[in-house]
Amino acid sequence: MQAKQIERYRRLLFLTVLEAAKNVACTATRPEGVSERAWNRWEKGEAAIPQEVADNLAALIDERQRIVSELADKRPSVWQMPPADTLPQRRLLSSVAAEAAAMGIAVQEAEE
């Protein structure tokens, strides 16, 4: 995964560097994620992003794209945003909500 792609994906998911570092970079070998500095080094191309972290990021982007594609195909008048269990999932759904709004679809947020 290219450095600019890492940054673009993070921004598309509405994640701060710290949120991505502590959540997306959380893996079996890094259960608490990484530092902001480490994430910034990946985005700047100063270090290679570990494959398992790249896979986590790609999985979030794939899930976002799946939901957006479904909305684009069905074009409901209202999208009921589902509840999210994790911070990355909440941010992903917020990103989808923004896309839905841009498509003219009203968004109804899940009650917590």
pLDDT tens digit sequence for 15-59? 999 999 999 999 999 999 999 999 999 999 999 999 999 999 999
Q: What is the pLDDT of residue 110?
A: 77
Torsion sign (Cα): 36, 27, 42, 67: negative
How confident is the model over 79-96, as a mean pLDDT?
Answer: 96
Q: What is the pLDDT of residue 112?
A: 59
Residues of the chain with pLDDT > 70: what percent? 99
Alpha carbons within 13 A on the beta-carbon side of 23: 19
Domain 3-108 of CATH type 1.10.3100.10: yes
Residue ranges covered by each domain of the chain: 3-108
